Structure 1
Amino acid sequence: MITLKDVCFQYSADSTVKALRHIDLTIQDGECVVLTGESGCGKTTLTRCLNGLVPSFYEGELTGGLLLDEKNLLEMPQYEISRHVGTVFQDPRSQFFTVDSTDEVAFGCENLSMSTEKINQNIQKAFHNLRIEALKDCSLFALSSGERQKLAVAAIYAMDTPVLVLDEPSANLDLETMEVLRGILQELKREGKTIIVSEHRLSYLMGVADRYVYIQDGEIKQIWTPRQAEELSKAERKALGLRSFQSISLADIAKEGAPAEQGKRIEGRGLAVRLDKTEVFRGLTFNFQWGPAGKVVGITGNNGSGKTTFAKMLCGLLKPSEGALLFDGKPAAAKERLRQTYFVMQDTDYQLFTESVRHELELAERKNHRPCDMELILERMGLSQAAERHPLSLSGGQKQRVTIAAAMASGSDILVLDEPTSGLDGRNMQRLKETILALKKQGKLIFVVTHDMEFLDGIYDEVMSFAQKIR
């Protein structure tokens, strides 16, 4: 059993805001509790309290009581906590220690001093039960973000700890893999594991969660049973900044294609891309046309099917091994594609360079030397209060909004957003939808690489689907 009594925490790096305020919560053995709420509300901080990273790694002032099976968690050494609590972080890259997928799954087991026989048994069980046998013995550098997310779950699953803490585990997962994750969580519950999930995407947790804990400004505001959560009206969810509790597929939002507009054009003819010795896709042909009204193109498909590779190729970060890519009927070299496009990456930390949010936008503004309304962009993305904060001090969802705000400030006419709703709550997802539609009205072509059909609903004009998995 986990007990939190009047827990308060304030980061040393940001003494102006209390990350947690008077948290009282008891989690029973074998229970699945979902922590939800808007970006920056304190969900991740609460998970860090449970796994011992606050305050031993993330320094600050922590008060109150944290008990794990009646033992004071604050007095337990980190290695002892790790025997009881396994964690999947929001950014899986931050918990990888090897370069090989099988070694990575073995790493945690080795640190718990399991026997060789037990380690091999747990590795086999993890890859099999998560249906990721094809990811065995792969270089971590060759995996997509979604595949790395699966591997992070497998590594913690193999450690066989009684408590699992998962921070946004579905952030980069396709719908099929989310269903696999749901099945794994159900199996872990049957095994008696205690599960704490911090999430914005809530639909896959119906039938798994025992309680939903809604956090706002560092405080627990409401706790719902699954039935109470499901009965929340759309207006109530919108007011709370929550995502839908119902699963939405591409078929649910399908519509007739928009008529082609005459004007600008991007065309691909027989494109192929190889990464190392792996052919990601071949024979890719497309033709997207857009006029003054702009266009939004959804890029969908399973993890590892080539969506991000396509996005990088389109933006000039990768060269096709075969075929031709044309802008307005003329071959577009990598340098020209880089000039005309702006790419928002999945991994936001790769695109955050400066000392403040405002400086990030100013840096992006220099790309095309087009002045922008900085204050309007900050307001539209809900970042006005964070304008002077260091980007790396923000939550995952807030970082995501900073990179999208930078894309807006760049003034580029072709925007490519790779999983832009990763880490976004319902309110900020809706805010981003409105922003994309406003950018579209400016005559921009916007590619949205996503697994998030709730987000894509109502904004796309065309969809290109990468249906085939690599692995």
Structure 2
Amino acid sequence: MRAGHITVDNVGFTYGAASALAQLASAESDAEVGVDIADIDLDIPPGSAVLLCGPSGSGKTSLLRLLGGLAPQLHPGTASGSVTVSGREMTTLDVHRVVEVAATVFQNPRTQFFTTEVAGELAFGLENQAMERAEILERIRAAVAVTGIAGLIDRRLDSLSGGQLQLVACTAALAQRPDVILFDEPSSNLSPASIEILSAVMRGLREAGHTLVIAEHRLAYLDGIIDRAVLLDDGRVREDLPAAQFFALSDEQRRAKGLRRLRAARPAPPSVPASAAHTDGGLVVENLRFSYGRTLVTDLDRMEFPRGTITALTGPNGVGKSTLARLICGLAKQDAGTISLDGRALRARERNRAASMVMQDVGRQLFGETVAADITMGLSASARTALDLPALLEATGLIGLEERHPQSLSGGQRQRVAIAAAAAQDSPVCLFDEPTSGLGFSHLVGIAAQMRALADRGAVVIVITHDDELIAEAANSVITLTPPLTRKG
């Protein structure tokens, strides 16, 4: 079999109890958990690029784990059929040999890092293969030149944004020079500029003869990159379409399949009306300064977030959007300046009580033993009684999951649990950090509706996002942040 050739013959996989326990222990927060697959047949020629698409929890990540030799080796369960990559049977290949044929870029890159610094992470896998120092350096230089992260080489991983971490993970995979590269939601946290870099990287990989398999919800940027699109649902392949036929689907057809936009286009100016009943008051940031060590990150003269309005915060990866959210929520204390709500300046502790935040990595904020417990955590007895939990579960697509452990859910499902918990708190300020990361079309619409409901109740709603579809669906206004965080429009 030629290098880079993938065959999937009548494959099924059922997760075992040990895999669920391993997921809870590892807090792999942005991946599908326990999504069984069945009756999968695929033949992927060397040098081709295939898209895996479908709703959250459809089995895309499970299939990638089999292709990448991660299941059942690291995700215990029962596999049937055959998965071969470059002639190797991946379901039985020793984990330390997997890198010889395939590399995976995870949806949450934090879960695949082993070091604390970018340079060390890029070298880690190569050092484990006992490569000579000169070859390691040459491979890293070549990979960095492709992804454009030379400016990050000396940085600590914990100082990078989610999008920057994603590019580091891509670079580490490139440095391995495998036959096959597997991407799990690679654009989920990337700005438009970073997606352009990712697109160029993928085109270059194809030209170099690599085989690519890409599980993705954001689809438009893949036009001209993929050869075909495989649509999964409920753990099975439902359609396998040539790229030209796939991207020719009408908006009505792609919506019926639960797919997101297929054609690149900037959204129309936000047209969702603010609630007229809540136009007075809001959050105001004035003369705000914040630094990490000697590095000035936030430098804002004035910024306003009215009540009853959904404001989208956009800007390049690493510009400081998440840092601003942490300041607003009182998770960090500013060096100078004020943050006021309804004309009253609030200290960090007061902001913490007034704000709810859905983090980019939601696994870090889910602590309950069940979905229902997580959603109602911290509510007073009277608030619990007043909460219409079934209606909230229905609105967030969580009906039937209320007794599941949050960490046993897919990444998209966990995202919705965190959003439901924020809605239950009924806080005057609600922040969302990349809330549609890894989510399909129907859940994007549902989350937009939840944001609108919060705004209509008079909350200040701020969403940090690179997702043009979410902006078009929900936002009243858009603020673009640029270094050193000056307002642009």
Q: Same fold (TM over 0.5)?
A: yes
Give identity over the alignment, percent.
Answer: 36
Deviation at 1:50, TM superposition (A): 0.9
Q: 1:452 to 1:17 in 2, by over 3 A?
A: closer
Which residue matches 1:238? 255
1:374 matched to 2:380: no
Is the CA contact 2:310–2:477 (under 8 Å) kept in the aligned structure 1? Answer: yes
Tell me the SS of whatever aligns to 1:423: coil
1:31-88 Cα deviation digits (max 9, x unpaired): 1111010000000000000111111111111111112233322332112221110111
1:394-442 Cα deviation digits (max 9, x unpaired): 1111111111111111121211000000011111111111222222222
Q: 1:232 to 1:136 in 2, by over 3 A?
A: same
Which residue matches 1:24? 41
1:350 matched to 2:364: yes
1:341 matched to 2:355: yes
Which residue matches 1:451? 466
Question: 2-side partners of 1:125 and 1:96: how far apart?
Answer: 20
Tell me the SS of whatever aligns to 1:108: helix
Aligned residues: 466
1:153 matched to 2:157: no
Q: 1:270 to 1:394 in 2, by over 3 A?
A: same
The aligned runs of 1:24-423 (5 Å cut-off) are 24-249=41-266, 252-253=268-269, 262-290=279-307, 294-366=308-380, 369=383, 371-423=386-438
Tell me the SS of whatever aligns to 1:365: coil
Deviation at 1:368, TM superposition (A): 9.2
Tell me the SS of whatever aligns to 1:53: coil
Structure 2 unaligned residues grouped into runs of 5+:
21-32
The one-letter code of the counterpart of 1:3 is T
1:305-339 Cα deviation digits (max 9, x unpaired): 11101111001111111111112222100111111
Deviation at 1:144, TM superposition (A): 1.1
The one-letter code of the counterpart of 1:154 is T
Q: 1:140 to 1:29 in 2, by over 3 A?
A: same
1:464 matched to 2:468: no
Is the CA contact 1:272–1:322 (under 8 Å) kept in the aligned structure 2? Answer: yes
Is the CA contact 1:270–1:285 (under 8 Å) kept in the aligned structure 2? Answer: yes
Question: 1-side partners of 2:484 and 2:220: how far apart?
Answer: 23
The one-letter code of the counterpart of 2:7 is T
Structure 1 unaligned residues grouped into runs of 5+:
none
Comparing 162-171 and 71-80, the one that deviates more: 71-80
Comparing 460-469 and 199-208, the one that deviates more: 460-469
TM-score normalised per structure 2: 0.91
Question: 2-side partners of 1:211 and 1:286: how far apart?
Answer: 45
Is the CA contact 2:73–2:91 (under 8 Å) kept in the aligned structure 1? Answer: no
Is the CA contact 1:204–1:247 (under 8 Å) kept in the aligned structure 2? Answer: yes
Deviation at 1:142, TM superposition (A): 0.8
The one-letter code of the counterpart of 2:254 is R
Deviation at 1:367, TM superposition (A): 10
Tell me the SS of whatever aligns to 1:169: coil
1:2-28 Cα deviation digits (max 9, x unpaired): 111111111113899861011011111
The one-letter code of the counterpart of 2:394 is E
Question: 1-side partners of 2:182 and 2:336: how far apart?
Answer: 44
Question: 1-side partners of 2:450 and 2:272: how far apart?
Answer: 23
The one-letter code of the counterpart of 1:225 is P
Q: 1:18 to 1:40 in 2, by over 3 A?
A: closer
